[in-house]
Amino acid sequence: MVVVPLAKPAIEPQSAPSAETTTSMPWARIAAAGTLLAGGALLLNGKRQAGVAVAAAGTALALLEQQEMIRSWWNQLPGYLEEAQQLLGHVQGAVDELAFQQQKLTKILSR
């Protein structure tokens, strides 16, 4: 009988992945999405109070997950409000000018 040596496999079987290599599930994001979906389903089924309450809870979870984004939006809010105020000022000026021109035209046509 002849004994043939078996070659060592080129690829070693992988051991179980360590805790460092596995990615953790984003549970807060999943919970927020599920809660928002459940709130939407309740609203579509006519259960308004329960739907709004569940959707509010989902929104709170989503806000907790995205604190940095909310903080940056909050810091940029005064600039947006100032731009909106300037735009409203321009609109008010245009409306005032239009009212003045209307009065002039009314005086001219009434003669």
Report residue 44 as tokens: 């579509």
Segments making up each domain of the chain, as ranges: 26-65, 75-104
Q: State the pTM of this model.
A: 0.46
Per-residue pLDDT of the chain (111 residues; tens, 9 = 90+): 555 565 665 565 555 555 554 567 788 888 888 999 999 999 999 999 999 999 999 989 888 888 898 899 899 999 999 999 999 999 999 999 999 999 999 998 887
Question: How far apart are alpha carbons 90 and 84 in whole angstroms?
Answer: 10
Question: How far apart are alpha carbons 48 and 56 in whole angstroms?
Answer: 12
